[in-house]
Amino acid sequence: MQYFNLHTHQYTQNPQVLELVNQYPASYQSGIPNYSIGIHPWYVQEDSLTKDLQTIKDTLSSIHCLAVGECGLDKRISVALELQQKVLEQQLLLAQEYHKPVILHCVGAYSEIIAIKKRLKCTVPMVIHGFSKNAQVAQELLHNGFYLSFGKWLFQNPALETVFASIPEDRFFLETDTATHTIEQLYALAAKYKKIPLAQLQEKIWNNFDTVFKTHKK
């Protein structure tokens, strides 16, 4: 495999790509070889919370489950932030128990995410997916131990080039999420922004994969 896609909602079965496919408890599919599973803040439902958390717990011991998520906080939705925080914390505790990294969705709540990480004393790797903010936010997250994953916004926001270029080589990933571009196209752009050959970028990301996910599936 030449590419690692940190976060995607589409399992393409491309033999050149290790895809970390996002799954939700209510629609969990056991046949996907590498996945994350979590309760997205958009889909928090109190009446199904116990069942959803149990589904997550039941799958975390599988070798195919590489991470918890995506889960997180979003201040632009109607779900009460207090409830979002409760659900996030329960998932982070499961991640700690099963030693799984976490894929995080965060909109307008970076300070809250950082505070929760500190309060729960989370030691598992935590990745902010779809990062699109400025250098100040990036550095604050890096300072607090987070990894950053970049996707479609590298194409859509030219100002993100300098932010991405400044991220240390051992702290970033790339992802397609729901975008129409391919992971190959994203790697090509990222290599251009980093001013390094594609093969060197691939090596850096695989090193990060090995560090965070502690597997060797290249």
Q: Is 70 among the annotated ligand-binding positions?
A: yes
Q: Which pLDDT value is given to residue 29?
A: 93
pLDDT in tens, the chain (218 residues): 799 999 999 999 999 999 999 999 999 999 999 999 999 999 998 999 999 999 999 999 999 999 999 999 999 999 999 999 999 999 999 999 999 999 999 999 999 999 999 999 999 999 999 999 999 999 999 999 999 999 999 999 999 999 999 999 999 999 999 888 999 999 999 999 999 999 999 999 999 999 999 854 44
Question: What sign for the dihedral angle of Cα 152, 158, 160, 161?
Answer: positive
Query: Which residues have C-beta within 8 Å of that of residue 112, sequence separation ≥ 6?
Result: 73, 81, 85
Nearest Cα neighbor of 37 from 67, 7, 64 is: 67
Which homologous superfamily does the CATH classification assign to the domain defined by 3-213? Answer: Metal-dependent hydrolases (3.20.20.140)
Q: Hey, what amino acid is at 83?
A: L
Q: Which pLDDT value is given to residue 215?
A: 55
Q: Which pLDDT value is given to residue 216?
A: 43
Q: Which pLDDT value is given to residue 60?
A: 95
Query: Which residues have C-beta within 8 Å of that of residue 182, sequence separation ≥ 6?
Result: 176
72 close to 106: Cβ distance less than 8 angstroms: yes
Q: Is 99 among the annotated ligand-binding positions?
A: no
Q: Which pLDDT value is given to residue 217?
A: 43
CA distance 125 to 139: 16
- What's the angle, vertex CA 181, arms to CA 132 and CA 18, rounded to 5? 90
Q: Is 112 among the annotated ligand-binding positions?
A: no
Report residue 6 as tokens.
Answer: 């940190």
Structural domain spans, the chain: 3-213
The number of angstroms, rounded, from the C-alpha of 170 to the middle of its chain's C-alpha atoms is: 15
Q: Is 40 among the annotated ligand-binding positions?
A: no
